[in-house]
């Protein structure tokens, strides 16, 4: 049997090492306000530490994936002090870090718009699956705002010319362009996307080591830019991996021609 946890704006559904984080602020198109950010932070904090979970899928209950920041709340922020605004921005930064640095495989399943901060959420995951009807955009410049946090992550996914196009034009693009530009992993018809994401998740759950996934993601995130430093860091991580329990288990199974069940 699966488990179900409900917060104010987020639901967690778990079954067979797969967890769904489901945004449920439907009437506001999952616009990001403090409570939704808090609920998502709590959900990813729990699941990142849950050894029974290997894959986390972030999606909407229905409709828009996320329309970005709640504009009524952004208007309220104009009365905050600088310190209060830094604290509020830091809470969103912490959520992005929980998703981006998760030791699990993270997947966003996008149906409908993923805009501004909502596009940022989708960009934090390892894989983004989207329907052809989905739209993506960092539209902050339209309201005099800036996508400051997402720039840190986006520069690892696309070149500078594409970043200029996405961030400076504040345009809304279709899923096909998001796929070409590297934000979307795969575009799947709406009547198939849930089954495709489930099948992809199950393949990862059964086929790869959780320890390998966590260490590989850690190396990718922390790999130094300078070549010699990167190679030294990689050699150290290679040595650590060789001594892990999963590596020992995998090598033994390979040598004994046994089928592994991760």
- Encoded tokens for 149: 């946090």
What is the rounded CA–CA span in Å between residue 231 and residue 228? 5
Q: Are residues 162 and 181 in contact, defined by beta-carbon separation less than 8 angstroms?
A: yes
- State the Rg of the chain over Cα: 19
* Summary count for the chain: helices (H), strands (E): 11, 10
236 is catalytic: no
Mind spelling out the 3-state secondary structure of 117-137?
A: HHHHHHHHCCEEEECCCCEEE
Residue of 8, 84, 97, 140 marked active site: 140
**Contact between 77 and 32 (Cβ < 8 Å):** no
End-to-end CA distance of the chain: 20
Enumerate residues 6+ apart whose C-beta is below 8 A from 237.
215, 218, 219
Catalytically active residues, by annotation? 140
């Amino acid at each position: 049997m699966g488990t179900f946890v409900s917060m104010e704006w987020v639901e967690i559904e778990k079954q067979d090492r797969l967890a769904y984080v489901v945004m449920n602020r439907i009437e506001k198109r999952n616009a990001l306000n403090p409570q939704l950010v808090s609920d998502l932070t709590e959900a990813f904090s729990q699941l990142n530490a849950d050894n029974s979970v290997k894959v986390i899928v972030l999606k909407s209950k229905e409709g828009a994936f996320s329309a970005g920041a709640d504009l009524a709340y952004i208007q309220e922020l104009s009365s905050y002090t600088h310190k209060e605004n830094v604290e509020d921005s830091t809470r969103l930064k912490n959520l992005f870090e929980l998703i981006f640095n998760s030791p699990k495989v993270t997947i966003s399943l996008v149906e409908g718009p993923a805009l501004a901060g909502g596009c940022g959420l989708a960009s934090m995951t390892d894989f983004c699956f989207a329907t052809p009807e989905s739209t993506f955009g960092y539209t902050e410049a339209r309201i005099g705002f800036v996508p400051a946090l997402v720039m840190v992550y986006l520069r690892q996914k696309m070149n500078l010319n594409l970043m200029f196009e996405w961030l400076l034009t504040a345009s809304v693009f279709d899923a096909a362009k998001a796929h070409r530009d590297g934000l979307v992993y795969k575009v799947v018809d709406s009547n198939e996307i849930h089954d495709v994401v489930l099948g992809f998740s199950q393949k990862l759950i059964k086929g790869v080591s959780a320890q390998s996934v966590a260490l590989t993601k850690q190396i990718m995130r922390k790999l130094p830019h300078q070549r010699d430093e990167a190679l030294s860091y990689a050699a150290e991580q290679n040595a650590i991996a060789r001594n892990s329990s999963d590596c020992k288990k995998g090598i033994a199974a390979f040598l004994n021609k046994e089928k592994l069940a991760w």
